[in-house]
Structure 1
């Protein structure tokens, strides 16, 4: 007769969740962040060289993507400025350029004539679709050898670095090189 499963009086051991980052060698962390920064700069420069001749930049594409995600509903310039990470004043010039290219259309809201609505045109949707497909192919070429597990781990690491980067300037005072004078407050 099989023995009945015996319950252990001890609770199962669970892995402790790390509450602080693991200890890293300062030189190793420095080398990694330096390499990451250099790599991201090279990637950004390459993408600018690829897409700028067609009139696209990261802000324009962010606006087009935001409009595509919301389509067919229109958007407001202030919402699009937030999506692109630019000021409302810069958004006007950006929208002027997108409208000249016939990628967007602007119209007045019928219920409040002061409000300008921004719509993605059919041509604008084609630009979003073809640019997304082109960019996915570039990403595949860059990362085609990496396994999904490696990419997920790298994405989590980058997310953690991004989150820490957003808060680091509130925790660490501005760097003062040796011999630098602190600005004298004006009265």
Structure 2
């Protein structure tokens, strides 16, 4: 008996490679596969690869200032570069006014007038002006006369408000003792002086 050729099993001599393709962020892919050219039998089935999905990345935004608008960050896919979220405009912040208080002048430091500026950007709206220092309130420090043993002081002055010495007092050296010699007294003079002080005693002494 002769077998028909149609009953003969295909030996898959002519294999066709079914080329796959990679998945993308939004589209699925396929693995490589193969089939027989002669009989069409699938030798290796192609498998679907799911879409990868976007890999988000945030671009830098621009911060708004007091007078200039800003921009929100842009979000894009770092694989396919598709913009996922566009930048949006942020309104300017506007100035934040701060009052600069006046400073009274003293005898050692100048003062300042009242002013104002923006706390955020530092812009000055009303500049503070310098106020000249006030004069010292002068108090005289009286002179102290020196003595034989203690030094003295020259006249000086200081400020009653801040205590600053305006004219420093200088020390005056002690005068030292002024030696005076007592004159020598003769014995007869002493006797005469005693007689004057004690006349009765002198008479009694003379009558002896």
Q: Which has the higher strand share?
A: 2
TM-score range, shorter chain: under 0.3
More helix per residue? 1
Q: TM (normalized to structure 2)?
A: 0.15
Larger RCO (CA under 8 A, 6+ residues apart) = 1
Structure with higher Rg: it is 2
TM-score (norm 1): 0.16
